[in-house]
Structure 1
Amino acid sequence: MTAKDGHAGVIPALDAQVLVAAVPGLNALARIEAESFARVPGAHLTLSDLLRLARRIEQLIGEGVEGVVVTQGTDTIEESAMALDLLLATEQPVIVTGAMRDPARPGADGPANVRGAVLAAASDRARGMGVLVAMNDEIHAARFVRKAHTSRPSAFVSAGAGPVGWTAEDRVRIPLRLSRRVHIGLPPQTEKIAAVALVTAALGDDGRALGTLPGHGYQGVVVAGFGVGHVAGRTVESLARLAREMPVVLASRTGAGETFTGTYGFPGSERDLLGKGLIPAGVLAAPQARVLLALALSAGWSATSITAAYDALSG
């Protein structure tokens, strides 16, 4: 994003070649091939876009590319990285990065983030780690990363887990390894991704919108509940009815920690909801839980396989 004549505010304007050229000494770290896949704001991306990108990355790796850096707007990095992590089975490093400050602002962080991402993509330490996010000299696993601030360069965190690594003095350090990965393979003819709604619990909400979701074509629902996975008692029956029609995943709106499965027992508690057929999201934040559910439904996964995937990503 940068300012452009005739436009108020910054817009997508820089292609891949310009981004590479803006980073001093980048070609000394690796042989860079720059490609502009799409030029849209991060907020405009869809899961279908990410599916096409995953297929392009697979093609590039098949042609001998040893690592890939994806630059995009930061609005949806946590969801894009999650989607790519699930769609790609490669051992080659795939690193997502972006910029919190546009190039015209003092302290623009884009060049440093691109450099850190290239370092990670060129490092054997990042092999087999799935898709990673490199921002502000830190390296985050796709399943844990969150955008936790609207504007600071330090916006990206791995809430509850911490970054898996970092860059310093052009060295890549990744001391933490992920225990398990999940791959969702979609048939080559798949283009449209299943529609999954994200509903957030709120004080006093009676859940009246829940009953309308099947009529709008949704095939699954993620509920961002209170705390460890709670909702108001008055919404329980609506969720139970939904769970009889489609997969309903229970996440937390807090953004850190995992959903519980057996501690609280009141109506609307996690025990109550899971007993009525909801699926626990584990450590995944609600937006990332939605990505997994949408891709899994598109691949024709059963509720049992979907439940197992959330559990696997929770370690």
Structure 2
Amino acid sequence: MARVAIVFTGGTIASLPDAATGAAMPTLDGEAILARIPGIADLADLEPIDRGLVSASHMSFTQIVESAGVLQAALDRDDVDGAVLAQGTDSIEETAFAYDLLVRSDKPVVVVGAMRTSADPAWDGPRNLRDAVRVASAPSLAGQGALVVMGGLILPADDAV
């Protein structure tokens, strides 16, 4: 079974509605997100790595570079076959392009997010994250650079909009 590192940074995929305002607030860590997704542990040996809880619109350049370093460190390990970075969608195309430039590995690198919070009955996080793990586990997708996986699509970083 493939081993996939999943770096969690926050965003809607990690959000619940704030009790006072109803606004989506990044709240869930990696373990909590994975626990809400039936069957995901059957797809690969998963290694969650928490990097904070930030909305994508508030992600700084420093945080993007640091996350690229975390991805690189995971992918440099012999026991890791691919990596996923779960984040907010406000800047997913920009960060995916940055990871495409900053992360040097032939192993699959996948950026994923969600448009709906986990409190929404139509939460798209489970499908998107399961698809991302499948892509990160696929040897046939090695050497493709960073990919964005959402809504049943696999997009190269420079084609994501």
TM-score, with length taken from structure 2: 0.86
Match for residue 16 of structure 1 among 14, 25, 30: 30
Greater relative contact order, per chain length (Cα 8 Å cut-off, separation 6+): 2
Matches within 5 A, 1:292-307: none
Match for residue 69 of structure 2 among 46, 55, 58: 55
Cα shift readout 1:61-102 (whole Å, capped 9, x = no counterpart): 222321111111110000000000000120011101111111
Q: Secondary structure at the match of 1:91?
A: coil
Q: Hey, which bits of structure 1, 4+ residues long, moved more than 2 A?
A: 4-8
Q: CA deviation at 1:8?
A: 3.3
Runs (5+) with no aligned partner, structure 2: 1-14
1:119 aligns with 2:134: yes
- Structure of larger gyration radius: 1
What do you get for the CA RMSD once the two structures are aligned? 1.2
Match for residue 66 of structure 1 among 73, 77, 81: 81
Opposite residue 30 of structure 1, the aligned amino acid is: A
Match for residue 38 of structure 1 among 52, 63, 77: 52
Task: Kindly indicate whether the alpha-carbon contact (under 8 Å) linking 1:67 and 1:92 is maintained by their aligned counterparts in 2.
Answer: yes
For residue 88 of structure 1, what is the aligned residue in structure 2? 103
CA distance in 1, matches of 2:145, 2:68: 12
For residue 130 of structure 1, what is the aligned residue in structure 2? 145
More displaced 10-residue stretch of structure 1: 82-91 or 53-62: 53-62
Cα shift readout 1:254-292 (whole Å, capped 9, x = no counterpart): xxxxxxxxxxxxxxxxxxxxxxxxxxxxxxxxxxxxxxx
Opposite residue 72 of structure 1, the aligned amino acid is: Q
CA distance in 2, matches of 1:140, 1:20: 23
Q: Secondary structure at the match of 1:33?
A: strand
Matches within 5 A, 1:81-230: 81-146=96-161
Task: Kindly indicate whether the alpha-carbon contact (under 8 Å) linking 1:4 and 1:13 is maintained by their aligned counterparts in 2.
Answer: no
Task: Kindly indicate whether the alpha-carbon contact (under 8 Å) linking 2:76 and 2:105 is maintained by their aligned counterparts in 1.
Answer: no
More strand by share: 2
Q: Secondary structure at the match of 1:95?
A: strand
Task: Kindly indicate whether the alpha-carbon contact (under 8 Å) linking 1:69 and 1:96 is maintained by their aligned counterparts in 2.
Answer: yes
Opposite residue 15 of structure 1, the aligned amino acid is: D
CA distance in 2, matches of 1:21, 1:94: 22
TM-score, with length taken from structure 1: 0.45
CA distance in 2, matches of 1:52, 1:4: 28
Opposite residue 109 of structure 2, the aligned amino acid is: V
Cα shift readout 1:6-31 (whole Å, capped 9, x = no counterpart): 44311011111111111111111100
Task: Kindly indicate whether the alpha-carbon contact (under 8 Å) linking 1:47 and 1:83 is maintained by their aligned counterparts in 2.
Answer: no
Opposite residue 134 of structure 2, the aligned amino acid is: L
Runs (5+) with no aligned partner, structure 1: 147-315
Aligned sequence identity (%): 35
Q: Secondary structure at the match of 1:34?
A: strand
Q: CA deviation at 1:106?
A: 2.8
State how many pairs are aligned.
Answer: 146
